[in-house]
Structure 1
């Protein structure tokens, strides 16, 4: 074979198949060890950089384009594993054509989830009542990291896995904000109350505007899924409910936007500027 017709060496790198980014595949694939079912799939610059910088995160494999590898080096990111250099379309085949991967994909261990009893009784905790859209949960995590939220509490069922689309939407926040998983949300809320948390459920028919509601720390803000909102038992378990009064023609927000606004209101109420 002539030198001109010889395939470049990176063609012998992993042969990615198109997989769902939020549910890593199992089984053997040509040229690679099987990907375990509990593998967290992380992609995108901020998501992968945060995972690499997190000492609690174990990276199993890292795939990068040449430009992305240079970017990591320029940003001074310490690599936990030697990256495998691949073409951008190889990563795109793995994730799908709409995934914005920035030339980076990592396979990692899921982070250990703390127990509810291990959370410090301070600051703000976000509680999600069956919010299943990974884009929304990821965006909520991003806001939670921006406002210094202590943790995010969700249920084992009716919640998305902490991988793929959720991780990308969180833009690195998955490695900054601990996620606590409970089997029963009402019991989880009761446990938070026993530890001194004030439980405030956000509801369109809440008792008062959140900005006019008396708040204190530690505080748990409880959000429900779009459309159905808080479930009845969740609402009854909260100490009080509050709404977000808006001045414009549209009176409701996407749940991730509502979370960001609620965090802003609560943070400014708990820590007023002097």
Structure 2
């Protein structure tokens, strides 16, 4: 009985943390799902406590007999992390943010096929989901290697100009600093990012100062922002005029992709 209660209490704590995390990034859909799961787990806990722990002929509640469902799907965890960051990001950063801020269980290899899966889903049922995990787009309007973004963002935010990698890094560092929690993983992530920002790190080896990181990142961002915004807007206009709906989300096929597809079809 004690083990069952301990398991349920851990699950309830995870769900409460998940609800807080979803509300923090204003992901109301995920918060609604997690609250429903939380209410169910609390009802099961109440039922167990009411039984007094005495053995009896009554079956063990289904919620206790079966393994607890995963807190949120991989897709939802990636969306949470990207929403917090507010800019296209590599899988490594997405995983780190998921762990530090949402208690996520993401692994880098789980994100390898994410964009392809999302593209297949979109092509099978266009706009059938509230959002898609899609590609950032290069100046060739092809998918940027390894960069994930969110379909609901303005197109310009998903474009990658010459200065965009640095601008996006600074944007992500500011977001991490603003959402910093007591979790030591969040502090370690911010410390790693701060070391790559002039003036962002303390001279000692103590925990990073979020205010200092924000100030230093914002100062450098101000130098690049105008040019980067202009470049992204130009690319976004090209994408809008030249690409269809699917390509605007997942990128245009490159010459190498077309050649590979042609070779594959010719070999059939």
TM-score clears 0.5: no
With normalisation by structure 1, the TM-score equals: 0.28
Indicate the structure whose relative CO is greater, using CA pairs within 8 Å and at least 6 residues apart.
1
Bigger share in helix = 2
Structure (1 or 2) with the larger CA radius of gyration:
2
Bigger share in strand = 1
